[in-house]
């Protein structure tokens, strides 16, 4: 399994095709470094919250924009359950959409729901999710 790496901004599973990843490859190719640098800048400057959620529902990556949106720190959220951020009344619909999404590689789902803010209030957001599990294996 390829892991997400911090530091140099590497998000290899999102940027590098499976054929370019190999266990016996020593150094990264220059184009991968450039792509990763561009990805890091894009992820750091977007106002949308971007996250990567593993098959168990744990947040593996959360973009820095979550601080502006929910006043939560991205590094505090990594490793926690994505469902814990969702209003209890909205979890059923969201989990049903996620279950359907997992069955369809590449599929996209949109769900409006309430998400918890640091101030204890709920914010209505729209989540747009794509099943990219194959790309992260």
- So what's the pLDDT on residue 29? 59
Using CB atoms within 10 Å of the CB of residue 133, give its burial: 0 to 12 exposed, 13 to 18 middle, 19+ buried. middle
Q: Where are the domains of the chain?
A: 1-45, 49-136
- So what's the pLDDT on residue 45? 80
* Alpha helix positions (H), the chain: 12-15, 30-45, 66-70, 74-77, 91-102
**Domain 49-136 is found in CATH 3.30.450.20:** yes
Global pTM reads 0.69
Cα distances (Å, whole numbers) of residue 94 to 19, 86, 87, 98, 117? 33, 9, 10, 6, 18
- So what's the pLDDT on residue 56? 86
> Is the Cβ–Cβ distance between 113 and 87 less than 8 Å?
yes
* Mean pLDDT for back-to-back runs of 10 residues, the chain (137 residues): 34 34 50 75 84 89 92 95 95 92 89 94 93 76
- So what's the pLDDT on residue 55? 83
The tokens for 26 are 């020593």
- So what's the pLDDT on residue 89? 97
- So what's the pLDDT on residue 136? 64
């Amino acid at each position: 399994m390829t892991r997400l790496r911090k530091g140099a901004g590497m998000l290899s599973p999102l940027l590098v095709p499976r054929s370019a990843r190999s266990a016996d490859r020593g150094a990264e190719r220059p184009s991968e470094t450039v792509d990763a640098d561009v990805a890091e800048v894009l992820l750091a400057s977007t106002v949308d919250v971007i996250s990567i959620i593993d098959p168990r529902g744990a947040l593996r990556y959360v973009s820095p924009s979550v601080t502006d949106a929910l006043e939560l720190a991205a590094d505090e959220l990594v490793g926690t359950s994505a469902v814990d951020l969702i209003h209890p009344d909205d979890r059923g619909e969201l989990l049903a959409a996620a279950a359907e999404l997992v069955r369809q590689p590449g599929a996209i789902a949109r769900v409006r729901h309430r998400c918890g803010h640091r101030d204890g209030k709920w914010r209505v957001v729209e989540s747009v999710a794509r099943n990219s599990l194959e790309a992260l294996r």
